Amino acid sequence: MAARIKVIEYDEAEGKMKELYERFNGQMANILRVHSLNPKSLVAHLEYYKVIMFGKSPLPRRLREMIATVVSSTNECFY
């Protein structure tokens, strides 16, 4: 399922969004690409993701990944 939110494609990106796409070698997941109209929100999303998936937590990383996978599946979203 494609995003329902307009996204700026890699070949149309400029400035900060182009830089962010290049960090991902142009292979950015849709969950991140939906931020393309607001690169500042993408940077915040990436920082948040690092904290919840890699930060100190009583939950092991593999369990956090499993939770994310189940939530994505429930939401019919490819993870």
Report the SS3 class of residue 13: coil
What pLDDT, on the 0 to 100 scale, is given for residue 30? 81
Top-confidence residue, 38 or 72: 38
Cα separations in angstroms, 56 against 5, 47, 48: 32, 14, 13
What pLDDT, on the 0 to 100 scale, is given for residue 5? 82
- Position 3 pLDDT exceeds 60: no
Ranges of beta strands (E only) in 3-70 are: none
Mind listing the pLDDT tens digit for each residue in 9-62? Answer: 999 999 999 999 999 897 888 888 889 999 999 999 999 989 999 999 999 999
Distance (Å, rounded) from C-alpha 73 to C-alpha 23? 27
Using an 8 Å Cβ cutoff, are 7 and 29 in contact?
Answer: no
> Where does the pLDDT of residue 75 fall: very low under 50, low under 70, confident under 90, or very high at 90 and above?
confident
- Position 77 pLDDT exceeds 80: no
